[in-house]
Amino acid sequence: MITNTAGRKFFDEHIQYLLVKDVAGMVKNTYTQDAILYNAFPFLDTPPPNVIKGQEELIKVFNAYLDYQGDIQVDSLYNFLETEDVISFQATITSPKTGKWAVGDVWLMQGGKISRHIGFAHSL
């Protein structure tokens, strides 16, 4: 897999924010102000599907995600796709708290940032 493309560099930067738990930096630097996340998180008070709107709400949800998962490790990255306005991928991750997961995301890009984020995951 080519790892020096613009989309792959963006992905690596995004993941690095998560690995060092800089959620506010990740959201402010990689999401648009009006970004929307669509997901089915198992740890939120509201049942899925979850629709999270705006940077402040994204920061809350991603902090809750890291609290739920702990220190995540990306085990494999596959089906990586990038175009001018889309980045999508699938991955397997390991969490010390919840085990192995298969995850996937579609990021609709606008002005070099994520404007719409569609995510899915299931425990392996």
Q: Which domain holds residue 110?
A: 6-123
Residue 1 domain flag: no
How confident is the prediction for the chain on average, in pLDDT? Answer: 93
- Give how many domains the chain has, as a whole number: 1
pLDDT digits (tens, 9 = 90+) for 41-61: 777 888 888 999 999 999 999
CATH number, position 38:
3.10.450.50
What percentage of residues in the chain have a pLDDT greater than 70?
98
pLDDT at res. 47: 83
Question: Does the pLDDT of residue 40 top 90, yes or no?
Answer: no
What percentage of residues in the chain have a pLDDT greater than 90?
80
Whether residue 102 contacts residue 86, with contact meaning beta carbons closer than 8 Å, is answered with no
Look up residue 33 and give its two tokens.
Answer: 């102000």
Q: What is the DSSP string of the chain?
A: ----SHHHHHHHHHHHHHHTT-HHHHHHHHEEEEEEEEE--TTSSSPSSEEEESHHHHHHHHHHHHHHH-S-EEEEEEEEEE-SSEEEEEEEEEETTTEEEEEEEEEEEETTEEEEEEEEEEE-
